[in-house]
Amino acid sequence: MASHGSPLSGILVPHMVPLDDRGRINEEELARYACWLVDRGVHGLYPNGSTGEFTRFTVEERRRIVSIVCEAAAGRVPVVAGAAEANVAETIHACEHALEAGARAVAIVAPFYFKLSAESVYAYFREIARESPIDVTLYNIPMLASPIDVATVRRLAEECPRVIGIKDSSGDISNMQRLIAAVRPVRPEFAFFTGWDAALVAMLLAGCDGGVHATAGVVPEVTRAIYDDVQAGRLDAAFARQRQITDLLDIAFLGDDFPEGFRIAAGVRGFAMGESRQPATDAQRADRQRLAERIRAAIERCGIPV
């Protein structure tokens, strides 16, 4: 099966999911949030990623999230839906649903919990690529899942037309350069995305097609401007904005257990995000109130009044 659709590029948002006061998906607020992101110029939406806390939702909830986001996107931007499940059969079911919902592609993390060999990682993705009715992007996040090495990506790119790109969250620029050098000669349209916000400008200059960033769910205007600046050769402006989102990243990422800082940050931008499903102590709740003020200041340093 060949790939369908235009190659992916630009800023994709791995957004969070608003919850109501009973911990259920706040569907209306999720749709409003997705529309807001599109209206602010992002190039695509990326539900059920790590920032979207996909492991904290049921299978049915993950599918509902994809449906809501695809409906909100309404074809204006592509949706790359997280489809990672605990085994191949359930992952294929998630791929089928993503296609039905209107997603452009799915994102699938390498097997997690069990640390597997490169050969096993290859076999896992090869099986999914053979059975998936929708294009697949690889998701390399070695701090949380089995790594996808350069040779494996090259092998999958050569053998599996359904595998159309990779998001790499390692932040390793030298590894990204090796990936691009290994894959682009055999698959020129293969899409490379960085998942590490602090390396966005450097990764774009190294040849990446775009970024999938948690900060894009907070300051989509700034991440989109960085992409545009690099494309236009305005590197001084790009690096200045890079410092702004790195500042925001450090505060939100290090200020609390990931991705709680980004839930707080989306709340600062005016969305009713609710409390995480991860229980918190009273001390943590008090710390989060203080963190919200630090995040608010970081957003304002990006030139966005809140």
On the 0-12 / 13-18 / 19+ scale of CB atoms within 10 A, 292 is: middle
Per-10-residue mean pLDDT of the chain, 306 residues long, equals 76 98 97 98 97 96 98 98 95 98 97 92 98 98 93 98 97 97 98 97 98 98 98 98 98 94 98 96 95 98 96
Nearest of 92, 161, 157 to residue 127 by alpha carbon = 92
Domains in the chain, number? 1
Residue tagged 């894959």 (tokens): 183
Nearest of 68, 79, 57 to residue 13 by alpha carbon = 79
- Helix/strand/coil (H, E, C) string of 89-123? HHHHHHHHHHHHHCCCEEEEECCECCCCCHHHHHH
**Interval 243-268: pLDDT, tens:** 999 999 999 999 899 999 999 999 99
Domain residue limits at 186: 10-234
Q: State phi, psi for 71 to the nearest 5 degrees.
A: -65, -40
181 found inside a domain: yes
DSSP 277: S
Cα gap 165→154, rounded to integer Å: 11
63 found inside a domain: yes
Cα gap 147→153, rounded to integer Å: 11
46 found inside a domain: yes
pLDDT recorded at residue 6? 84
Q: 207: helix, coil or strand?
A: coil
pLDDT recorded at residue 3? 56
Task: Check which CATH number belongs to the domain holding 83 and give it.
Answer: 3.20.20.70
90 found inside a domain: yes
pLDDT recorded at residue 36? 98
97 found inside a domain: yes
Q: State phi, psi for 250 to the nearest 5 degrees.
A: -60, -40
4 found inside a domain: no
230 found inside a domain: yes
* C-beta atoms surrounding 191 within 10 Å: 21
264 found inside a domain: no
